[in-house]
Every structure is written in C-alpha cells, then in structure tokens.
Chain A
Amino acid sequence: MMQPNVAVLFGFGINCDHETKAVFELVGAKADRVHVNRFIQGSAALEHYDILAVPGGFSFGDHLGSGRLLGNRMRFAMRDALQAFVDAGKPIIGICNGFQVLVKTGLLPGPSESASPDFVQRGSLSLNDSGRYEDRWVTLEFDPDSPCIWTKGMTRMDCPVRHGEGKYIMPSEQALDQLAHNHQLTVRYADPTTNPGEGLTDEPLPYPLSPNGSMRNIAGICDSTGLIFGLMPHPEAVYARWLHPHHTRHEAPTEANDDDLSGWEGEGLQIFRNAVEYVRSNR
C-alpha cells in the first residue's frame, strides 16, 4: 500500500514532534521530523511531502502571543512553499501550538471561499479565561457535516487539553456565523452528560467543561476546503487506550489476548488515519 510522506515540523520549542511522528507511523505513513530551518534553508523540500503536521509545544516560549513568532517565520520564509502545498490539495494539521501557528499565519480559518491562502489573520487564540495553563481531559464533539477530511466519521471523544492560550476568538458574530454555516467549526467542547451527537452548542459551557472560554465552545476549526485542520486538544495523546485516565477502571488483558495490542487503540488515532487514507484515495 502507498505510504504517504508526512513532514512533522520541529524546532524552536515545538515539543510534541516525537509522538506526532509516531501516530502517523502507527497508521501506515512514513513520517519525518523536519526542522523548520531545513525547509527555509532548502535542505528539505515541502513539496516532497503529502501531509504537513505542525505539532504542539511552546515555539519561542509563547512570547508575544502563542504561535506568533513561528507563524511569522513560516509566513515570511516559507510562504511560497506553503501556498503551493495548499494549492496542491495536501492536508495540513496543527495541534495546540500548531493550531495557534496556523491561526496566526492566517491559514486557519483562511479565506471564506475555496481560494489560495492569503495569509491574513482572521481569528485568534488568547489566554484561557482562567488565566492558567492546565492539563485536563475534556469531552470533544465533532460536527458530522464538517468538510474536514481529518474528522470523518468521528462523533465524540475524550481528549486532553494542555494549554494556556486556547480561547478561540473572532472579531464578530458574523465571522463565526460564516464559519458555522460552512461547518468549519469542526470540533467543540461538549458536556459529557449529553448524548453523543447532541453535545454541540453555541451556549458557552462553564469551566472546566470548556477549559478556556472559547467562543461557541470551539476546540478546533478547518478551512473551507476541509484540508487544513487545527485544534487545541491533543488527539495524538490518545493514540492508545492505556493513555486514557480511566483505563484501570476497565478490564486488564487476559493471558489469551496479552500479546495483542490492537484492541488497545485509542480514539485519537482515527484522525491521523483519516488523513492517510485521504491521501491514498486521492492519488
């Protein structure tokens, strides 16, 4: 089977590069950790890759606003390569700090019509209302009608958030309405007591169900094509069931299935598999 090539960006304080590479490999891709400067200096070429992942971390220490400085490096030094990558219809994911980078570069949410990226910032991610960086598990619910190729078939999952600046903000209700209309509000924080499929709401959920006070409980958005996706929570950190805080509340493997890890796949892996399968089916 065809093995898509994934570029997992790292350097300058990105720190989820190892696990992001690992999850793509677990679903059959070939993934490289590529230092940002290798693209800028030209010792690596973005066009040779099928998928770009901007992992989580603390690029430049989040100073001057999370994602701002790395976003600028990409916006000014990798502009043409990124434009060509997007124009070629290749998927991009930004997780946590990577999402912040994609928002600050303007790749997310991007222009409203299917168009080439214009690198204009339209939204922002600001400090959590609590004022605190926190690591906590939240419940996410996905918009089933989202064009996002990364989240096909997903309804609900538990997932950790680990950020201090995850409050998604847009300057106007109209701007949010526009995204909602296009089903670009791909994933949102949900109340776990609601039924799966009925958790999406515009009404702000209380802390800590919404860990940051995001407008309309937004956890992640996609661009109008559905190829570029960013989210604050960390689906790569749910690649195995043993990473779920409740795993000891369920049965341990028995001798019969001891060697079989397949039953232990975590819910987050599907996001990465979706993109790999998208690339395979579009080749």
Chain B
Amino acid sequence: MRDVRGDVVRRQLAADHGLEVPQVRSITGFLLNGETSSEAIQTRVDDLFADPIIEHGAVNTLLLTTNAFASKPDAVITIGFKPGVTDNPGKAATDGFLTLFPEDTEANIATYLTYVFYGLPATVDVSWLAETLHNNLIERAILADAAMCQRQEWPELHYPAPPEQVFIAPQSVNLEIEDAALIDLSTTGLLALNLEEMQTIQHHYRDAEIRQARKSVGISPNAPTDVELECLAQTWSEHCKHKIFASKIHHVDRETGEDSVIDSLFKTHIMKPTHDMQQEVDWLLSVFHDNSGVIAWDDQWSVCMKAETHNSPSALDPYGGAMTGIVGVNRDILGTGLGARPIANTDVFCFGPPDWEGDLPDNLFHPSRVLRGVHAGVRVGGNESGIPTVNGAIVFDDRYIGKPLVYCGTVGIMPRNLPDGRPSHVKTPVAGDIVYMVGGRVGYDGIHGATFSSLELTEESPSSAVQIGDPITQKKMVDMILEARDLGLITCITDNGAGGLSSSIGEMAEYTNGCEIDLAKVPLKQAGLSPWEILVSESQERMTVAVKAEDQPAFDALAKLHEVEATPVATFTSSGMFHVYHGETTVAYLPIEFLHDGVPQLQLESEWTPPTLAAFSPPSQVDHGQLLHAMLSRPNIASKETWVRQYDHEVIAQTAIKPFVGIERDGPGDAGVIAPIHGESHGLVISCGIAPRYSDIDAGAMAAAAIDEAVRNAVCVGLDVDKMAGLDNFCWPDPIESVKTPDGRFKLAQLVRANRELERVCRAYRLPCVSGKDSMKNDYGSGPDKISIPPTLLFSLFGDHPDVRKSATSDFKHAGDKIYLVGSSSQELGASEVAVMLTESGESQGIGGQVPLLLQPEKNLTTYRALSSTIHQGWVKTAHDCSEGGLAVALAEMCIGGRVGAEIDIDGTGSGDVWGRLWGESLGRIIVAISQENEEAFLAAMKGHPTTVLGEVTADQNLIITDGPDALVAADVEGLVTAWKGTLDLTGGVA
C-alpha cells in the first residue's frame, strides 16, 4: 500500500532540491504520559492509534524493529515538537484516548513523525536533510545515518515535558533613572517604547494623587510594577496604537516646494472621508471602532470584513505564523458587534522569488520554503475552520525575502437584529457584567507578539513570539459563541490577539470605564506563569466575552455542551481604573484614560524627492509572441492553481464565482462572489488590489493602482458600485528617521503620498474605508545588508451583487463573441511587469518611466457603473481586468479560460505606442466579450464611455494579435496554457 506521507517528502525533495530518493516511508508516533498500562492500550491500538485496514501499530515497540520495516533503511529522521509548542495531533489523540480510557484523567499525548529513507544517495548529509524537514525554532529532530541504521541504532524521542516555569511575584520597576537607562530598559525588556514614552510613564508615577491612590490599594506607589509596564508597552505598541498613522508629520515636498503639517494621517485621510460618506448613505453601520467594519447588506443581514497581517511570525515560522494569522482574523469577525459568523477568507501573500538562487541573510528561510509553510498554515487554518477562501493573490519581489507579507482577511455575516431585538453590531456592556475568557488556555507561547512585531527582525528574535494555531479548538468556540449570541447571552465580545488580556479586557473596559481582573483565575497551559505573562500572553483561540451575572448559568452550560473552556476572570466597573489582581494582591492599577490615551503623539519628519530610475528602454527588435510566453511564466503572472486549489473555496455552498473559472476550471477568477443565504441569489463580491512595484516610482500611484484594481476586479464579476466598502492594509518599511533608518524621511513621504491618493481615489469612487490595519516595521537587519520591503498597500473590497445569476467571468465563452476594450491605454510602462522582466534580463536599462496614473477617477466610476449594469442585464458574461502584463496577458488568460482563440487588433486602443498598448498597465481597463445578439444593447449602454472593439473569439486555438497591419502575436492556446501553468507548480507531481 502507498505511503502518501512519505511520498510527499519524496516529491518535495525532488521539486525543491532535485534530489531523487526511490522510497520514503513514514511512522506516526504517540508518546503517552499517563497511568494506563501498555497491556490495556495494546487491545485498543486499532481503535485509536492505527487504522486496522491500512496501518501497522505497536505499543512500547519501535515499528522500525518490527517486520513492517524488514529491510534496512539508509537514514531515519524523527521530528517532534519542542516542549511547550502546540501539538494539535497530540491534543486530538489525548481527547480520543480519554474517550477510551476516561479514568486516566491526567493523561497527555505528544506526537512525532519518523521518516524512513531507502536508496538515499550516500552523498546526502542526513543532518542537512533533517534541516529541510523541520524548523528548529519549534521542532526537534533526531536522526540515524546509514552507519547507525546498519547498527540498528534508531532515533527515539521521549515525551517533551514542558520546562519548569518559575512564578515570579510582581516586582516594582524603578523608573527614576537616567534617560539612557530608560532606553536600555525598554530595549532589553522588549518593550519597544521610545524615550518620550518612557518619560511619560515615569511622570505618571510622580503624580501625588496617583501615588496616594496606589497606596490605598496596596501597590508600589512610586513606581510601576512589571505587570503595569508590560501592559503599557503592549497597549502603547505601534501594533496596537498605530502611532505612526496617528503622528504629527512635518511634510516637505522638494518637487513642489510644499511645506506642511499633517496631524494624523489616519484621521485626515482615512477616517474623515469615510465619516463624510457616512452622512450620505444609510448602510455604513459601524466603521473603525470595532474589530471589523460593518455594512448593512439587506433588511435582515449585515456583513463585515477585516484583514490583518502576520508578517514577523510568518518569517520565523511560516506555518505557525500564517495559521495564527488566518484564525486570528477569523476571531476579529467573531468579535465584531455581538458576534458575526466568518463566511469567507481572503489570503494575499508577498514572497521572495520561489526560484531565488542568491544569498540568504542569516535566520531567513528560502522563499520557496516560506511559500510552502505559509500556504500550509493558511490552508489548514482556513479549511479546518470551514471557511472558504474565495479570493487572494500571491506577489513576488526580491525584497520580500527580508520579510514576507501575509495578509489574511475574513468576511462575516450577522443578523441585523438579534432575537431579543438588539442590533447585533452594537456592543452593550454595563458595569457589573462578568467577563469570561473563552477557548484556549494561556501559556508561555505568544509573549511579546505585539511589541516584537513593532521591531525589525533580527537573528535574536524570540521563539516565544511564535505560536501554532489550533483551528478545532477555535471552531468549537465559534460554534458555542454564535449560539450564545442568538440566545442573547452576550453583552460584549472581543478577540484576544495582540497584547492578550491586557488589550482585550482593557479595550472593552473603555465602554464602562473600568474593570477588575483576577489573573489567578485564568486557566493556564502550565502552572508557574508570572502575572505579567498571564496578562500579555497572546496564546491563541481565545475570546473575551461579557455576560450578565444572571446569564452565567446558561453560558456555562453552553460551554460545557460544546466542550469549550469558559472562565470568568473579570468584572466591568465604572471606577475609571484598569485594576488587576493576582488573588488578593493588586498587581496593576492604571487609569483607563492613561492606558488608552496617555501615549504621546509622535512628531515625525517627511521629505519627498522623486526617485530617479533609469528609463525603461524596450528592445527595438522583439518577438512579442515569445515575450507573451515569457510573461505568462513570470511568477507574478503565472497560475497559482497548485496552491489555491488546496484551499476549500466553496464550503458553506455559497461560492458563485470561484477562484477558478472557465471550461477546464483553471482560468483566473477576478473576484469572489458568494450568495450567503441558502436559496437566495443575492450576492456579495469580494476582491483585492495590490501593486507594490509602483512604489519604486511613486507610492501614491501604488495606492491608487491598488484601489482601482480592487474595484475593477469586482466590477468584472458584477459589483454594484454604489454599495461597496474597502479595507486599507498598509505594510511599510520603518519610516522613522534614525541611525538604523537613514532614509526614514523618504519612506514617510511615501506613506504621506499613499494616504493622499487613498483619500482622493476613495472619495471619487464613493468607496468608504471601513476598517484597516498597518504594519510599519517590515525590515530585516540594518546597515548595508538591510532589506526593506517595497511600500505595499493591500486594498480589499466587499460590495453588493444584486443577483449572482447575472455575473461575468474572465473566460471567453463562444466563438463569434465580440471583444471590446473598456477604458484606454496610455504610454504607462514604468515599473510594469514587462519592464522588470526585460531589465532583469539586461534587455532594458531600467524600469523607470511613467507609472500608471488615475487621472480622472470620477469618470472611471461612471464607466464602471455602466459596465456593471450591462452585466446585471445579462448581456455581458465575459469580463476580465487588465493589470500585470497589460492587454496581452489579459487576453491570453481569457483564451486559456475558454480554451478558444481570438483575433485581436489593438489599433485605436489608446495613445501609447505598441509597447504601451500591448504591455502597458494603464488603469481603468477591462476587456469584455459579448454575444452578437447583445452587442447592440451593450454599445448603447456604454455610449459616452471609452469602448473600443478589439476583435472576436474564434473557434480555432490561436491567439492572434495585430496592430493595424503589423502582426504582433500568433500563439497556440495550449502553448499559452503550458507557459502559464508550469512555473509555480512546485509539487513534484503526483507519481
């Protein structure tokens, strides 16, 4: 019988390293720490640990010594988790064990995997092999090489007893020290606070009234406890407080001579425009202040969306980091209002090139390994949670080697009103409500995540900041909480993410102006955690939920039914204080106001000088057909099918436009469309836009392009442009000028420009940003080896779709259909994919030149509205957005989707030369195809909007592109398919 686990390793070695190993077999090991005798277990092995039909099982015997492994292997590698790391299979095994042996209540099981190699070339270093198969940050590996195998010395792992935790009672921390010592304290303690912030804290403890109040509750009057200092560091972290977006910026523009001050980018360019739009529409229910933005979808339902990044953890442990990213953003949805149900995920990743052959800085993984790990984490997190991944993107650039970007988004749905009549998007806590911690327990994992992500990555980055998610524990919690919501038991709910309980309870306590927490009540993964660790640990799968005291019995019963741990740990008060106990002892006593509003505003310097880049200089002689094949196989353009197909994209039975479209179901979908209410065809569109390369020329243009791409993608499937909302997720390199960041002023100017364009375009598109997030320290190292990511805005969009039956997809449908270009092409090749490709190959001097601009977004909107209406009429069934690779790539993708040819003439499609019209990435362009019977109606509807005939879909399998009399491309569609699908298929096949 086939050993598929072994096959997966075998294929991966072939795909990633060109290493052919004839056979790899696998053994799953279970290490039991319990009272049950091995004789008792022996009789039940096939009930639990081994499948009687397909597996061998043995108790207290290494399978390697049995007949199941009669022939001698060449290497054996056993991999298990390090002590204290989340072991999900072990947890499940423990649960299953207790079903069979309920009396062994303290039993615990850990798991390991053993790979057994046959025919391994003697030149292969087994230690290297082990390195490729495990991450020593979270896993341990032991091995036997060929000689040891000969001697039958098999590697044997033992139960990983968690290291002893030493309880340290809260200490007071003397802040009456020199400034240099304050900075030192912040650095060594991973507090990520600057001098002014440390001084603000120092001053707080000098206030006589504060000292008096502290004395009265028995806490060190003149100095913070370590609990308080940690709590402030988390709450004031860049991650939680978005200090750069809230800063006062002195902005100088060397190009225009502007010299001005911006008081908070967020308030000025994001919040204000949305609040202005909120005056004009009735469907913006909740913006910015909750865990996600909420819009009314119909009379009965509202929908919400949130996207987050999990970059730093994903750099250290791609699998665990990405998994906690996706299950974490799911909790943001669950924590919206009184609880929303997550119904769709989006995943957008930015990685280094998967075929990178250059050097790698210390402590960084090869991009292909990051891709595999991140993908696996998101796949497991999303699939096991039962949430379809309906939209996403994967972007490649060398600079993401320094820090991969892992954006995870989730859409949620909730009834407009609960059965008890309360609107479900409004939290209703009052003083006296009991605050529960629900879900997982608190452990040493995930301490300092918020502050860590507010620092640049170094070789010493702590492993405790990395965790592995547990989707099943979370799924049980989601099931339970949504039942509790519908029973009217919840008055307030939020997620435990960055900053742990200190943030979640701290933020909720703002509603009632106070809380009392008892850390001694918090259930722990292992005894011995110190109070500050309990307060700030970011252990996963936890929600903080407030219920009325009289509802506690019902809430407890529901938790028991779902086998979810729910523990009351706090009470809301109106005392004005964040009051934390450990048992009887007060360990933190901070004014709510100081905690949340005490952080001083940063004052930053910004200076814009346009970068100078060598201009894109296309070669004079070129075969555009050859170029098309090369472009289709660029990682940024190539099919991501291998990866995306491994996401469940249609659980919940609502996905009407899937990531794959077309006759062979492998063409690119522009946007996801779901019909979330079963039996109804009312839909919701989910799309995204991202264009980081344009930042090389102008981050403002980058932002505008990302927004337009998101809207364009959504229009292609039939978005109602009059009801759409957006999410802005900024990932930036550190933009604060310092010794480590000498070019901070420029990077901040890039941020200013991006925000200004965000406001301009969103106002023009009537597109309110309802939620967003920023991650501002995406750098690796310092000095000449420093790697900074290109400034990257992911713009996600969710909007209304009146009827999913009237949708369009990118695949050409029928021979004879007429093809039109909506929009027009300008000479905009700056930072385009073709410019980058030809510059990399040495055929062009550089990527400089005109970056695509969005000059008149108001006009684009009216064109989009007109085009959407033709889709809603059922006239247009084919539409595809032009982005990377321009018209040529978009047309090729449409032929691939339909497995049909097309005859195209690009004459008259715009002002650009042949390069501009064929490969340029001008914004606002969509290619559509219409059956001849609907052509007239389509043209009438598009009257007054730029609409140019391109040609016709043909029955033969050739894409023919001409420019008037000049032949440009004549390509066989199957050849295009091969070029497009080959690059990112890194699976090593199925043999």
- Which residues of A are interface residues toward B (Cβ below 8 A)? 10-16, 18-19, 22-23, 26, 35, 37-38, 41, 43, 56-58, 60-65, 68-69, 72-73, 76-77, 121-124, 126-137, 160, 162, 169-171, 207, 213, 234, 236-237, 239-243, 245-249, 251-254, 258, 261, 264
Interfacial chain B residues near A72, Cβ < 8 Å: 47-48, 96, 99-100
Q: Is the CB of B805 within 8 A of A133?
A: no
Q: Is the CB of B562 within 8 A of A35?
A: yes
Known contacts A10-B479, A16-B386, A72-B99; is-contact A264 B647 (Cβ 8 Å): no
Known contacts A68-B96, A132-B646; is-contact A236 B653 (Cβ 8 Å): yes
Q: How far is the CB of B948 from chain A (nearest CB, A)?
A: 23
Q: What per-residue 1/0 map shows which CB atoms of B472-491 lie under 8 Å from chain A?
A: 10011001000000000000
Top-5 shortest CB links A-B: A15-B386, A252-B874, A63-B92, A22-B678, A19-B653
Kindly report which residue of chain A lies nearest to residue B111, judged by CB atoms.
Answer: A63
The yes or no answer to B583 lying at the interface (CB within 8 A) is no
Q: Is the CB of A65 within 8 A of B646?
A: no
Known contacts A135-B647, A252-B805; is-contact A26 B874 (Cβ 8 Å): no
Among candidates B650, B678, B806, residue contacting A135 with C-beta atoms closer than 8 Å: B650
Q: Is the CB of A61 within 8 A of B645?
A: no
Known contacts A15-B651, A242-B681; is-contact A252 B96 (Cβ 8 Å): no
Bound-complex Cα distance A3 to B507 (A):
48
Interfacial chain B residues near A62, Cβ < 8 Å: 384
Q: Is the CB of B99 within 8 A of A127?
A: no
Among candidates B49, B385, B874, residue contacting A253 with C-beta atoms closer than 8 Å: B874
Knowing that A19-B678, A121-B51 are A-B contacts, what are 20 other residue pairs whose CB atoms are under 8 Å apart, sorted by A's residue number? A11-B479, A12-B476, A16-B653, A58-B383, A61-B88, A64-B49, A65-B51, A72-B47, A77-B99, A124-B52, A124-B53, A128-B4, A129-B4, A131-B8, A170-B53, A242-B675, A242-B807, A248-B877, A258-B803, A261-B679
Q: How far is the CB of A51 from chain B (nearest CB, A)?
A: 18
Bound-complex Cα distance A6 to B393 (A):
40
Among candidates A11, A37, A123, residue contacting B53 with C-beta atoms closer than 8 Å: A123
Bound-complex Cα distance A16 to B681 (A):
19
Interfacial chain B residues near A26, Cβ < 8 Å: 678-679
Interfacial chain A residues near B96, Cβ < 8 Å: 60, 64, 68-69, 72
Interfacial chain B residues near A135, Cβ < 8 Å: 645-650
Q: Is the CB of B665 within 8 A of A60?
A: no
Interfacial chain A residues near B93, Cβ < 8 Å: 63-64
Known contacts A37-B563, A236-B653; is-contact A63 B675 (Cβ 8 Å): no
Known contacts A19-B652, A131-B8, A242-B804; is-contact A248 B54 (Cβ 8 Å): no
Among candidates A13, A121, A124, A129, residue contacting B472 with C-beta atoms closer than 8 Å: A13
Kindly report which residue of chain B lies nearest to residue A57, judged by CB atoms.
Answer: B386
Bound-complex Cα distance A240 to B140 (A):
49
Kindly report which residue of chain A lies nearest to residue B558, judged by CB atoms.
Answer: A35
Interfacial chain B residues near A10, Cβ < 8 Å: 479
Q: Is the CB of B561 within 8 A of A248?
A: no
Interface centre among A22, A26, A58, A137 (most CB of B within 10 A): A58
B interface secondary structure, majority: loop
Among candidates B52, B663, B681, residue contacting A264 with C-beta atoms closer than 8 Å: B681
Q: Is the CB of A69 within 8 A of B99?
A: yes
Q: What per-residue 1/0 map shows which CB atoms of B714-757 lie under 8 Å from chain A?
A: 00000000000000000000000000000000000000000000
Q: Is the CB of A243 within 8 A of B88?
A: no
Within 8 A of A (CB), among B1-40: 1-2, 4-5, 7-8, 11
Q: How far is the CB of B628 from chain A (nearest CB, A)?
A: 25
Bound-complex Cα distance A128 to B8 (A):
11
Interfacial chain A residues near B652, Cβ < 8 Å: 16, 18-19
Q: How far is the CB of B6 from chain A (nearest CB, A)?
A: 9
Chain B residues within 8 Å of chain A by Cβ, number: 74
Within 8 A of A (CB), among B805-833: 805-809, 811, 813
Among candidates A11, A15, A38, A123, residue contacting B385 with C-beta atoms closer than 8 Å: A15
Within 8 A of A (CB), among B46-94: 47-49, 51-54, 88-89, 91-93
Kindly report which residue of chain A lies nearest to residue B680, judged by CB atoms.
Answer: A261
Bound-complex Cα distance A246 to B95 (A):
43
Interfacial chain A residues near B4, Cβ < 8 Å: 126-129, 131
Query: Which of B236-244, B654-662, B773-781 makes up part of the contact surface?
Result: B654-662
> Could you list 25 examples of A-B contacts with CB < 8 Å?
A11-B476, A12-B472, A13-B386, A15-B386, A16-B651, A22-B678, A23-B678, A61-B472, A69-B95, A72-B47, A72-B100, A124-B52, A129-B990, A131-B4, A131-B5, A132-B987, A133-B646, A134-B646, A207-B990, A247-B805, A248-B809, A248-B813, A253-B805, A261-B680, A264-B805
The yes or no answer to B471 lying at the interface (CB within 8 A) is yes
Interfacial chain A residues near B654, Cβ < 8 Å: 19, 243
Bound-complex Cα distance A37 to B655 (A):
30
The yes or no answer to B634 lying at the interface (CB within 8 A) is no
Q: Is the CB of B990 within 8 A of A247?
A: no
Known contacts A60-B472, A170-B53, A245-B660; is-contact A162 B92 (Cβ 8 Å): no
Among candidates B47, B383, B471, residue contacting A133 with C-beta atoms closer than 8 Å: B383
Interfacial chain A residues near B475, Cβ < 8 Å: 12-13, 15, 58
Interfacial chain B residues near A248, Cβ < 8 Å: 657, 661, 807-809, 811, 813, 877-878
Interfacial chain B residues near A249, Cβ < 8 Å: 663, 809, 811, 813, 877
The yes or no answer to B379 lying at the interface (CB within 8 A) is yes
Known contacts A61-B89, A69-B99; is-contact A127 B5 (Cβ 8 Å): yes
Q: How far is the CB of A260 from chain B (nearest CB, A)?
A: 11
Q: How far is the CB of A146 from chain B (nearest CB, A)?
A: 23
Q: How far is the CB of B32 from chain A (nearest CB, A)?
A: 13
Q: Is the CB of B645 within 8 A of A237?
A: no
Q: How far is the CB of B87 from chain A (nearest CB, A)?
A: 10
Interfacial chain A residues near B803, Cβ < 8 Å: 253, 258
Interfacial chain B residues near A252, Cβ < 8 Å: 805-806, 874, 877
Q: How far is the CB of B943 from chain A (nearest CB, A)?
A: 21
Interfacial chain A residues near B92, Cβ < 8 Å: 60-61, 63-64, 69
Bound-complex Cα distance A239 to B379 (A):
25
Q: How far is the CB of B359 from chain A (nearest CB, A)?
A: 31
Q: Is the CB of A58 within 8 A of B7?
A: no
Bound-complex Cα distance A239 to B677 (A):
12
Known contacts A137-B665, A253-B874; is-contact A76 B99 (Cβ 8 Å): yes
Kindly report which residue of chain B lies nearest to residue A258, judged by CB atoms.
Answer: B803
